[in-house]
Structure 1
């Protein structure tokens, strides 16, 4: 498969279970090597690593928010540790929770910390695997407001999700995967039109109809 992600773009990767969504993200992150092909970054920040936020939180519940950020900032070898931690606290609106243990936070705030860890090195591209899967509707709304603010500042965000309506609401573009193949690359509205589903049908119906038409 071949695709590009523009600066400040919010790209959703959708597909049935086993389609290869997480595999694709781990290859983009450099965690898993592809059998063939390559991942290339272009632009003034192309030397920076791609940020990666897995589905399972990688932070420590017994440490405070600030302690978690300091720990991972050291691992990232950032130039100015304290300034970076402060920037992340401000960017994630967690300044008032800096001294709270992570285990005491809501699911939405824990996910914000998880994303903040992925942003410590100021990556030009951020990869999110099922970022809102364990959140309630209000927490999801706050999280997506935060993610949208990242793209507004120029960060490219690629996220994998099972929530088709979430992809429709937030993504500028969607990739549809099935059995490791890229079946569609375009705006959500175009996927709906391509599917042949009823105009007044929802995105999930369009997605299922599209997969059926493709033999999946």
Structure 2
């Protein structure tokens, strides 16, 4: 990955997109091959498909807890900024009782806590309404503007072409295509969809 760049991972269900993101996040070791990491390791923010928060805690309490664990200096200001950035209500409702879209927005806020140099997003718009999708892509653009790299898995080809600089197509755990997003639609179908 390059700084200030977004890479879209696309491919059929079971192609290995989520597995690759888990490997990049450091939560899973590859069964074959290896991953070269920059030294020192960059700060990574990860938005998995499933909720990655404590269900008994509210959105605010989750953010406060993880901010403390990350050693965030301005805890109150950071939590307020992130709640506003993802337009997440500050209710006392436990995270487990939030809608799927609100849980996804909380996942995003948690991933942004440490000002990531690499942001990993697994199907980030799957539960979001159109307004929240725009907000998400605006936040992704901000990460890129600040020099961060973004890798996102998606089934939405329009989003891949529109928001990524490069596209990688995975099939059965292997990359079968990699290139500029604006050239993806012109790639030979036999190479990409075989």
Q: TM-score, normalised by structure 2?
A: 0.84
C-alpha contact (below 8 Å) 2:68/2:75 kept by paired residues:
no
Bigger Cα displacement from structure 2, 110-119 vs 9-18? 110-119
Q: What is the deviation of 1:9?
A: 1.1
Q: Cα deviation per residue 1:149-185 (whole Å; 9 max; x = unaligned)?
A: 2222222111111111111111111111111111121
Farther off after superposition, 92-101 or 59-68: 92-101
Q: Report 1 or 2 for greater relative contact order, CA contacts < 8 Å, sequence distance ≥ 6.
A: 2
- Superposed, 1:1-216 pairs within 5 Å as 5-34=1-30, 35-41=32-38, 46-76=40-70, 78-80=71-73, 83-91=74-82, 93-94=84-85, 97-101=89-93, 102=95, 108-195=101-188, 210=189, 212-213=190-191, 216=194
Q: Do the aligned partners of residues 85 and 23 (structure 1) sit closer, same or farther apart at CA in structure 2, a change above 3 Å counting?
A: farther
Structure-2 separation of matches of 1:104 and 1:215: 39
Q: So what's the TM-score if we normalise by structure 1?
A: 0.76
Pair member with larger Rg: 1
Distance 1:171 1:30 in 2: 23
How many pairs are equivalent?
A: 191
1:128 CA displacement: 0.7
Q: Tell me the secondary structure at the aligned position of residue 57 of structure 1.
A: coil
2:111 and 2:96 map into 1 onto residues whose CA distance is 19
- Describe the shift of the 1:73–1:91 C-alpha distance in structure 2 as closer, same or farther (beyond 3 A): closer
- Aligned-partner Cα distance in 1 for 2:131–2:124: 14
Q: Name the SS for the 2:186 alignment partner.
A: helix
- Which runs of no fewer than 5 residues in structure 2 stay unpaired? none
Cα distance in structure 1, aligned partners of 2:28 and 2:19 = 8
